[in-house]
Amino acid sequence: MCLEVKDKFGASDGGEQVTPRRLRVAVAGLGVIGEGAALRLVEPSEPYALCAALVRDPAKERDERLKALRTYSDPDVFLVEQPDVVVDALPTGEAGRRLIEAALSRGVSIVTANKQAVAGHLAPLHDLARRNNVVFAYSPSVGGGAPMVETVRRARGEGEARQLSAILNGTVNFILSSLAHGMSFDDAVKAAQDAGFAEPDPTADLSGEDARAKISILTYEAYGKEIDQNAIRVEPLTAERAAEFLKIGGVWRQMSVVKRAPDGGISARVRFERVDDDPLFANVEGEGNALRVLNIGGAEFTCQGKGAGRAPTVSSIFAELEKIAQTPPDEGENTLRRVKTFS
């Protein structure tokens, strides 16, 4: 049983009215992002059917709008619901990767916001999706409302990338902005938590692990391969380091950079830099993210947007769901293998 949704109609290029395929969607994780996706899925205007959720505690009280939703704690039982697509919003990388592999193996498409689940494993996951003729989409895992994966893909289509530079962690950028406006380090972290940008345990953000995973994903998009995670140098954000920024002055940002050497070697790092003279990054305030790709031929590609919080990530998830819904079955590799009918 799926929660009821209404049809949504759109016009084809020929002018005739067509109904996008209604997808059975299951959500893994009902935290900030997962609950946001689930609540939007049950809105009457959305052409999807929310079938099930994977949660740690099925007995936990949920939003009234999700009372009728089937919840499971066992991933294998969860997948017995036979969704067309699973939205992965699980909080841990290991659990997310196991679920993604299980779903793709069973012919279920994936839209994931779980960067820790896919970073370092993109090639085999793409291969698994191709072999089962389903979609593996992960742009929501990088950039939130900034279309970073799409921008790097567009740049790659125009030529080889020489350098990628990006602000990838909206939580850290929010903290840096708060510090610049006179807030203490501890208060800035708490404000990020209160705003829903930082988790109760902000270690992944402050340590740089979040940015490390994201720059690894963008490296794959730019060059078709990922850098060993251990080879990406990362500088953490500490109260002591933040005090140094304030003492020195200027505009500081957590910059994630990938460079390709003339011999073809690729290096990446995450560190704090003063960016006063670079308007693209200096003007990114609050939870914003931004990206610049420079190609060998001199072409420049940029994007920016809100990089943390429920709304931008959920919007990115739904952009991927819409692409899946509008993709005819068996049209090229990595497309939806089948669509189930239901009432």
pTM score, whole prediction: 0.87
Look at residue 334 and tell me whether its pLDDT is greater than 90: no
The answer to whether position 274 is within a domain reads yes
CA proximity to 47, closest of 103, 90, 2, 109:
2
Query: Whole-angstrom Cα distance, residue 16 to residue 247?
Result: 63
Query: Whole-angstrom Cα distance, residue 214 to residue 303?
Result: 15
- The per-residue pLDDT for 304 is 94
Exposed/middle/buried for residue 20 (C-beta within 10 Å: 0-12, 13-18, 19+): middle
Same domain, 19 and 97: yes
- The per-residue pLDDT for 327 is 74
- The per-residue pLDDT for 292 is 98
Check: CB of residue 265 under 8 Å from CB of residue 131: no
Per-residue pLDDT tens over the stretch 267-289:
999 999 999 999 999 999 999 99
Per-residue pLDDT tens over the stretch 74-89:
999 999 999 999 999 9
Strands 85-88 and 23-28: parallel
182: domain range? Answer: 148-308
The answer to whether position 271 is within a domain reads yes
CA 153 from centre of chain: 15
Both structure tokens of 85? 């697509």
pLDDT confidence of 6, banded at 50, 70, 90? Answer: very low
| Average pLDDT over every residue of 302-322 | 91
The answer to whether position 284 is within a domain reads yes
| Average pLDDT over every residue of 143-168 | 94
The answer to whether position 200 is within a domain reads yes
Same domain, 124 and 195: no
Same domain, 79 and 129: yes
Same domain, 47 and 86: yes
Query: Whole-angstrom Cα distance, residue 8 to residue 52?
Result: 21
- The per-residue pLDDT for 268 is 96
Percentage of residues in the chain with pLDDT exceeding 70?
A: 89
CA proximity to 20, closest of 50, 45, 56:
45
Same domain, 164 and 103: no
Same domain, 161 and 294: yes
- The per-residue pLDDT for 266 is 93
| Average pLDDT over every residue of 311-339 | 72
Check: CB of residue 54 under 8 Å from CB of residue 87: no
Which residue stretches of the chain are H helix? 32-41, 75-79, 93-105, 115-118, 122-131, 148-158, 170-180, 185-194, 203-207, 209-223, 239-248, 279-282, 310-325
Same domain, 197 and 315: no
pLDDT confidence of 317, banded at 50, 70, 90? Answer: very high
Count of structural domains, the chain: 2
- The per-residue pLDDT for 235 is 97
Same domain, 124 and 223: no
pLDDT confidence of 328, banded at 50, 70, 90? Answer: low
pLDDT confidence of 144, banded at 50, 70, 90? Answer: confident
| pLDDT mean across residues, the chain | 89
Same domain, 45 and 89: yes
- CATH code, 44: 3.40.50.720
pLDDT confidence of 188, banded at 50, 70, 90? Answer: very high
- CATH code, 192: 3.30.360.10
Query: Whole-angstrom Cα distance, residue 189 to residue 205?
Result: 10
The answer to whether position 3 is within a domain reads no
Same domain, 127 and 256: no
Per the rule left: phi > 0, alpha: psi between -120 and 50, beta: everything else, 156 is alpha
- The CA-atom distances, in angstroms, between 146 and each of 92, 150, 171 are 23, 9, 14
Same domain, 240 and 104: no
- The per-residue pLDDT for 19 is 52
Per the rule left: phi > 0, alpha: psi between -120 and 50, beta: everything else, 109 is beta
The answer to whether position 91 is within a domain reads yes
Look at residue 190 and tell me whether its pLDDT is greater than 90: yes
The more confidently predicted of residues 338 and 184 is: 184
The answer to whether position 105 is within a domain reads yes
Same domain, 48 and 172: no
The answer to whether position 5 is within a domain reads no
